[in-house]
């Protein structure tokens, strides 16, 4: 894949550079908002920052300031492993809700969902692997 293709520029059949693909800013914002909304609804508190990246069949939502007051208290007393384990189990239980939200926004099937948190810094990632798009005819 050449640099223009990676950056979203396509060539016209005559070899001249074509127009930029339409920006996905509305979809990226909708994905960030949907993930924050799910956190808020099910954790009782959402992250204070979220940014979503979409490249080919991969969507990554990076979240910051995600832990609840209870989780922060447990982390302060050295119970980091329990907090991360609880988050992992909960994200597995929430998998279908996260996948459904992304599928509704993108119109694409989510083939895989991965979730991970870090304590210091307080960041989390929600990763969505999309099924390949059908080739355009």
- CATH number belonging to domain 23-130: 3.30.980
pLDDT higher than 90, residue 50: yes
> What pLDDT digit, counting tens, does each position of 2-38 carry?
443 333 433 434 444 444 445 689 999 999 999 999 9
Q: Is the Cβ–Cβ distance between 18 and 5 less than 8 Å?
A: no
Task: State mean pLDDT over 91-113.
Answer: 97
Q: Percentage of the chain surpassing pLDDT 70?
A: 82
Q: Which residues contact 83 (CB under 8 A, 6 or more apart)?
A: 67, 71, 74, 75, 117, 119
How far is residue 73's CA from residue 70's CA, in Å, rounded to a whole number? Answer: 5
pLDDT of residue 21: 46
Mean pLDDT, all residues of the chain? 86
Domain boundaries, the chain: 23-130
């Amino acid at each position: 894949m050449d640099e223009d293709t990676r950056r979203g520029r396509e060539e016209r059949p005559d070899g001249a550079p074509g127009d930029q693909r339409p920006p996905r800013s509305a979809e990226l914002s909708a994905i960030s908002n949907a993930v924050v909304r799910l956190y808020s609804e099910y954790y009782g508190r959402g992250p204070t920052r979220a940014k979503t990246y979409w490249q080919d069949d991969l969507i990554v939502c990076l979240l910051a300031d995600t832990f609840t007051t209870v989780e922060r208290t447990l982390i302060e007393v050295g119970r980091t492993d329990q907090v991360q384990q609880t988050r992992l189990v909960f994200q597995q239980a929430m998998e279908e809700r996260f996948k459904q939200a992304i599928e509704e926004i993108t119109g694409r099937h989510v083939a895989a969902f991965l979730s991970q948190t870090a304590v210091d810094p307080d960041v989390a990632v929600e990763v969505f692997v999309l099924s390949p798009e059908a080739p355009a005819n």
